[in-house]
Structure 1
Amino acid sequence: MDRRTLFSMQAGLLLFLGGVILLAFHRQRGQKRDKGSVWFAAAYLCSGLGLALQSERDVIPPFFAIVLGNFFFLLFGVLANYAVCATTRQRSRTWTYLLALNFATVANFTYYTYWQPNLFLRVMEAGAVIVLMHLALIVALLRVRERVIQPAMRSMALLLGLHSFFALARMSMVVQRRNADVLLSWIGVITIAGLALCYLWMDSLRVHAELEQSAMTDPLTGLYNRRILEVTAIHEIQRAARRGLPCSAIMLDVDRFKVINDELGHAAGDSSLSAVAGALQASLRASDIATRLGGDEFFVLLPGADEASAGLVVARIRAAIAALRLQTMGGESFSVSVSVGQVTQRGTKMTVEDLLHASDIMLYREKQLSRSRGFGSGTRQAGGAQVHPSNA
Structure 2
Amino acid sequence: MFSIRLSQTGIGATHLDIHTLHVEHAVFLASYTILTVANSWLYKGTKGVYAFSLYGFFVFLGASAVAMRGHIPDLISIVLGNLFVVIGYAFLSFSLIGFLGRKTSYFYLQIFLFLIGLVTMLQYGWFHPDTGKRLIALSLVLGCQHGQIAFFLYRNRSPALRIPILSMTLMLVGLCITNIVRIVGVALHGAPHNYLNAGPFLAWILIVNSCLQVGAMVSFVWMTAAMLRGKLEVQTITDPLTGALNRRGVERAAEQSILICRKDSVPLSAVVIDLDAFKQINDCFGHHCGDAALIAVAACLRNHLRPDDILARIGGDEFAVLLPRTSIAEASTIIERIRVSIAATEIVYGQIHTRVSASFGLAELNSPEQDWEQLFMRCDKALYEEKNAGPTKLRPRDVSSSKLGLLPN
- Asked if the contact 1:17/1:44 (under 8 Å) is kept, the reply is yes
- Asked if the contact 2:277/2:394 (under 8 Å) is kept, the reply is no
Residue in 2 that maps onto 1:70: 82
Q: Which AA in structure 2 matches 1:192?
A: Q
Cα 1:375/1:195, change in 2 over 3 Å = closer
Residue in 2 that maps onto 1:186: 207
Alignment of 1:185-264 (within 5 A): 185-264=206-285
- Asked if the contact 2:113/2:145 (under 8 Å) is kept, the reply is no
Structure 1 gaps of 5+ residues are 387-392
Greater mean alpha carbon deviation, residues 183-192 or residues 50-59:
50-59
Cα 1:271/1:346, change in 2 over 3 Å = same
Q: Which AA in structure 1 matches 2:327?
A: D
Residue in 2 that maps onto 1:96: 108
- Asked if the contact 2:313/2:319 (under 8 Å) is kept, the reply is yes
Deviation at 1:78, TM superposition (A): 1.4
Cα 1:83/1:295, change in 2 over 3 Å = same
2:117, 2:289 → 1: CA distance? Answer: 62
1:235, 1:63 → 2: CA distance? Answer: 63
Within the candidate set 57, 65, 73, 1:45 is matched to 57
Query: After TM superposition, what 4+ stretches of structure 1 lie above 6 angstroms from structure 2?
Result: none
Residue in 1 that maps onto 2:139: 127
SS in structure 2 of the partner of residue 238 of structure 1: helix
- Asked if the contact 2:86/2:117 (under 8 Å) is kept, the reply is no
SS in structure 1 of the partner of residue 242 of structure 2: coil
2:87, 2:399 → 1: CA distance? Answer: 66
Deviation at 1:15, TM superposition (A): 3.0
Pair 1:293 & 2:323 matched: no
Deviation at 1:229, TM superposition (A): 3.0
What do residues 217-256 of structure 1 show as CA deviations (whole Å, max 9, x unaligned)?
Answer: 2222222222233332123223323433332221111110
Pair 1:6 & 2:21 matched: yes
1:236, 1:93 → 2: CA distance? Answer: 41
2:67, 2:200 → 1: CA distance? Answer: 18
Pair 1:20 & 2:40 matched: no
Deviation at 1:71, TM superposition (A): 0.9
SS in structure 2 of the partner of residue 89 of structure 1: coil
Residue in 2 that maps onto 1:382: 400
2:257, 2:131 → 1: CA distance? Answer: 66
Cα 1:382/1:12, change in 2 over 3 Å = farther
Residue in 1 that maps onto 2:380: 360
Q: Which AA in structure 1 matches 2:24?
A: M
Alignment of 1:331-370 (within 5 A): 331-370=351-390
Q: What is the TM-score normalised by the length of structure 1?
A: 0.90
SS in structure 1 of the partner of residue 170 of structure 2: helix
- Asked if the contact 1:131/1:167 (under 8 Å) is kept, the reply is yes
Deviation at 1:357, TM superposition (A): 1.9
Residue in 1 that maps onto 2:328: 307
SS in structure 2 of the partner of residue 92 of structure 1: coil
1:295, 1:189 → 2: CA distance? Answer: 56
2:398, 2:143 → 1: CA distance? Answer: 71
Structure 2 gaps of 5+ residues are 6-16, 191-198, 405-409
2:282, 2:379 → 1: CA distance? Answer: 25
**Identity between Structure 1 and Structure 2 (%):** 27
Residue in 2 that maps onto 1:389: none
SS in structure 1 of the partner of residue 389 of structure 2: helix
SS in structure 2 of the partner of residue 327 of structure 1: strand
1:288, 1:46 → 2: CA distance? Answer: 49
